[in-house]
């Protein structure tokens, strides 16, 4: 791989692992919290942040996150759900975990009451385990993702009834 003056690798594919690593380093160097890239029919969103969570003994975190992850909350799931149903979306690309460690109970399940600070899941991105808070108060009415399922940025994770 050849390098340009600014330290970014040249070539056609910005999605190769080496180039993504370089972009993450530049994000850190320039204190950027997020970066979106599009090339042909592919796109990726790189985000820094999240609170680190103790990983299972076989997993080692690569680096400490910079700040808390924030889950995006949609206004309503669909017209059929009504205005009181909100959706918690994934704030990043990664692997969804519904429990803090193997064998533990899920963070939340259908019927669980949540507040804005309630951790509803973990999304692992680049070996960093990011706790995802609900960001809204209410009752979980549907879990939309399975444990250890891959999630994209803005993927719906939970439906929450904000009436309580």
Residues 6+ apart with CB under 8 A from 103: none
- Residue 17 covered by a domain: yes
Cα separation, 98 vs 121, in Å, equals 5
Give the range of the structural domain holding residue 83, as residue numbers without chain letter. 72-161
How high is the pLDDT of residue 162? 94
99 plus 149 within the same structural domain: yes
100 plus 135 within the same structural domain: yes
How high is the pLDDT of residue 151? 96
Is this structure's pTM higher than 0.75?
A: no
- Residue 60 covered by a domain: no
How high is the pLDDT of residue 74? 47
31 plus 77 within the same structural domain: no
39 plus 87 within the same structural domain: no
pLDDT digits (tens, 9 = 90+) for 132-151: 999 999 999 999 999 999 99
- Residue 53 covered by a domain: no
- Residue 142 covered by a domain: yes
Cα separation, 116 vs 148, in Å, equals 23
Concatenated DSSP letters for 75-128?
A: S-S-TTT-TTEEEEE-SSSEEEESSSSTTSPPS--TT-EE-TT-EEEEEEETTE
Give the chain's domain count. 2
Name the stretches of the chain with pLDDT < 50. 1-9, 51-68, 70, 73-77, 79
88 plus 152 within the same structural domain: yes
44 plus 84 within the same structural domain: no
78 plus 131 within the same structural domain: yes
How high is the pLDDT of residue 2? 43
- Residue 63 covered by a domain: no
76 plus 123 within the same structural domain: yes
Q: Which helix (H) or strand (E) holds 47?
A: strand 42-47
How high is the pLDDT of residue 63? 43
- Residue 89 covered by a domain: yes
How long a stretch of residues is the chain?
Answer: 164
- Residue 56 covered by a domain: no
Q: What is the CATH number of the domain that holds 119?
A: 2.40.50.100
């Amino acid at each position: 791989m050849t390098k340009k003056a600014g330290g970014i690798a040249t070539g056609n594919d910005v999605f190769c692992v080496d180039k993504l690593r370089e972009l993450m380093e530049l994000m850190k160097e320039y204190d950027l919290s997020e970066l979106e890239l599009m090339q042909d029919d592919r796109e990726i969103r790189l985000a820094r942040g999240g609170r680190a969570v103790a990983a299972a003994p076989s997993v080692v975190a690569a680096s400490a996150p910079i700040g808390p992850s924030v889950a995006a909350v949609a206004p309503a799931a669909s017209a059929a759900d009504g205005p009181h149903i909100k959706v918690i979306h994934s704030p990043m690309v990664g692997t969804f975990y519904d429990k803090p460690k193997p064998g533990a109970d899920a963070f939340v399940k259908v019927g669980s009451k949540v507040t804005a600070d309630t951790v509803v899941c973990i999304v692992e991105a680049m070996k960093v385990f990011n706790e995802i808070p609900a960001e809204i108060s209410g009752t979980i009415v549907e879990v939309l993702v399975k444990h250890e399922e891959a999630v994209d940025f803005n993927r719906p994770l939970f439906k929450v009834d904000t009436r309580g």
